[in-house]
Structure 1
Amino acid sequence: MNQKKTFALAAFATMLMSSAAWAETELTVYTAIEAEDLKRYAETFNQDHPDIKLNFIRDSTGVITAKLLAEKDNPQADVVWGLAATSLLVLKSEGMLEAYAPKGADQLKPNFVDSDNPPSWVGMDAWAASICFNTIEGQKLGLTAPKSWKDLTKPEYKGHVVMPNPASSGTGYLDVSSWLQLFGDKDGWTYMDGLHQNVAAYTHSGSKPCKMAAAGETVIGISFEFRAAKSKAEGAPIDIIIPEEGIGWDMEASAIVAGTSKEEAAKTLLDWSVSKKANEMYNVGYAVVAMPGVAKPVEHLPADIEARMIKNDFEWAANNRNAILEEWTKRYDSKSEPKS
């Protein structure tokens, strides 16, 4: 072979290796992260990993959980990034998650990491229940702001409360499961019977009740603190109420879907998801994040919000999810909004 051909072949081989090295890997990522944040999350990740493209499939927690379960025998997702830990525990029990300890997971708060070694999932941030109270509409109707969950059963609030459906919304499920833990099984359902009398509608989105309160479409929206703080920062005339009994919460968490053909890229995303940079990104909206010492107070939220979160039994909430949702649907689904 002459020297010219040798050089040409060498150049071609170099080009092929370079193309392979920079070839973009695409990950299908199932998520319940707020739609408005997905672009920011992807752009921040791609600052460090421009060779991995994230294709998001986004919906509310209940819908994404049901979709994953339906695809159990033919998984379509590579990674779950931003889904309730209670949902991931259900998927784990079905053998649908690949155990993996991301680099740096040992630096996270222990309760933000699955207890198995290696863990099947790792936490990102916590979102907690809150009440959005429209002060203008409340004043027009002569309503005072509630201070507790039990206040919401008062007759004066009849028709003025909107909350998420727990079968489709992770926020709705953390509400229901936390009330059952706070008040006990019998009294918890009795409480929800009373609340139901005042509920105008159950939405299929955890953020929608607060958005409705912010827009004056209802007086009281049971939602979560991130959405509440964001609405208030945008100028909505709402008070953010943290009920005095304590607040239910769940954590957004991540996991690799078992059987993915893109395991290395999936591990890269999981490694990055527990990094300090990622936790700082989560803290833009969430006051409680997985890495200690990172979180700064979020405007309009109390600095002690983590202390006001109940001791949540995630295993119990996951193991009893189907039974709780079946009972809730039987009792209250008649007021749910139509599904889109």
Structure 2
Amino acid sequence: MKSWTHLSALSIATLSLAAPAFADELTVYTALEEEEIAAYVDAAQKAMPDTEINVLRLSTGKLGARLLAEAGNPQADVIWGWAVSAMMDPQILDMLEPYAAKGVDVLPDTFRGGDGKWFAPIGYMGAFCVNTARLEEKGLPMPTSWADLENPAFEGEVLMPDPNSSGTGYLHVNAVLQSMGEEAGWAQLAAIDPNMAQYTSSGSKPCKSARVGEYTVGISLAFTAMQSIDEGYPLAMVFPEGGVGYELEASGLMASSDNKDAAKAFLDWTMSDEAIGLYQTYKALITVPGVDASKAAEAAGLPADISTILAEIDFVEAAQNQTAVKAAWKEKFGR
């Protein structure tokens, strides 16, 4: 029996799967979306019946802040599905120890740390979620690029995540800056700022607000767009010209864990055939060679070769510049 406990003061959700008795208990920190966590943990719990898997879900920024706040007394055994650009913070890497999960050797070097401290079989990518019904009602043109969102007709019709609290927000900002160059990138973000109705703390909220017709464009996640289209919402998934931002969702073993056997077993499961099969249901970006996207992804318009739409992202640069970029963004656009 699954039970969710929401602690609104910390904006977290703790997932716990109850069972009669467990030999071990595992604490996992993640920034994965709630919709997918439940499915993954349900399967992992069945694969590890003697281990109680407790999951703490936080947004990307809040997860990093919690880990740093707990540095003197770490509480997590595993970091699971967290933005690699956040995980590459030297203070975070110091908390991890190398571990080669079973099956990780199939991943190209780009998707695992050279020091063995992280690996990423999955990732997420950005997209514009455009409500086609509202677009037609208001007589607006379909946006296909960031520049299209400068149109004054979109005033108050666009939502975007705040990069200071959302990994999705940083993904988009970083892609604009890296693909356009810093000066042109900041100018582009400034040009669309007057049309922004709100900057949200959640990466999926802009798409969820757009799909129900509250706004026309939600700058958000491809995963949420695909899910929304599959559920019948009047939504189009648009990948902006010039390259869409993406992020790797990395996992690693906490050096401080006092239950490393269970932690390693869980990390092994995240690379299992069962886990990879589930990724096909939820992820637009799977780094395991030879794994196809889901039928829902294809139906929503995800190209067979997603490399044709991805921006060229330097994740080392993204990690190194993250603090400065977030500070600059807050100064320019924070509300």
TM-score between the two structures when normalised by the length of structure 1: 0.88
Deviation at 1:302, TM superposition (A): 2.7
Structure 2 SS opposite 1:217: coil
Give CA-to-partner distance per residue, 1:267-311, whole Å, 9 cap, x none: 111111122221121111113212111223423123232331122
Residue 22 of structure 2 contacts residue 49 of structure 2 at CA under 8 Å; is this kept in 1? no
2:270 aligned residue? 273
1:85 aligned residue? 84
Residue 82 of structure 1 contacts residue 124 of structure 1 at CA under 8 Å; is this kept in 2? no
Of 126, 130, 133 in structure 1, the residue corresponding to residue 130 of structure 2 is: 133
Deviation at 1:151, TM superposition (A): 1.1
Q: Distance in 2 between matches of 1:142 and 1:296?
A: 33
Give CA-to-partner distance per residue, 1:109-132, whole Å, 9 cap, x none: 32111122xx11110312111001
Count residues with an aligned counterpart.
311
Give CA-to-partner distance per residue, 1:66-124, whole Å, 9 cap, x none: 111211121111111111111111156651111111121111132111122xx111103
Matched AA of 1:42: V
More helix by share: 1
Deviation at 1:166, TM superposition (A): 0.5
2:314 aligned residue? 313
Q: Distance in 1 between matches of 2:91 and 2:97?
A: 9
2:53 aligned residue? 54
Matched AA of 2:220: S
1:231 aligned residue? 228
TM-score between the two structures when normalised by the length of structure 2: 0.89
Residue 276 of structure 1 contacts residue 294 of structure 1 at CA under 8 Å; is this kept in 2? no
2:214 aligned residue? 217
Residue 247 of structure 1 contacts residue 308 of structure 1 at CA under 8 Å; is this kept in 2? yes
Q: 4+ residue stretches of structure 1 with deviation over 4 A?
A: 91-94
CA RMSD of aligned residues (A): 1.5
Matched AA of 1:307: T
Structure 2 SS opposite 1:283: helix
Give CA-to-partner distance per residue, 1:206-244, whole Å, 9 cap, x none: 000000000101000000100000011111111111112
From the CA coordinates, give the structure whose radius of gyration is larger: 1
Residue 130 of structure 1 contacts residue 242 of structure 1 at CA under 8 Å; is this kept in 2? yes
Q: Which shows bigger deviation, 180-189 or 46-55? A: 46-55
Taking structure 1 as reference, are residues 91 and 261 closer, same or farther at Cα in structure 2, changes over 3 Å only?
A: farther
Gaps of 5+ in 2: 1-20
Structure 2 SS opposite 1:187: helix
1:13 aligned residue? none
Q: Distance in 2 between matches of 1:92 and 1:286?
A: 29
Residue 80 of structure 1 contacts residue 255 of structure 1 at CA under 8 Å; is this kept in 2? yes
Matched AA of 1:70: A
Q: Distance in 2 between matches of 1:87 and 1:279?
A: 23
Deviation at 1:158, TM superposition (A): 1.4
Give CA-to-partner distance per residue, 1:138-171, whole Å, 9 cap, x none: 1111101101122112222111110000011110
Residue 69 of structure 1 contacts residue 91 of structure 1 at CA under 8 Å; is this kept in 2? no
Residue 63 of structure 1 contacts residue 168 of structure 1 at CA under 8 Å; is this kept in 2? yes
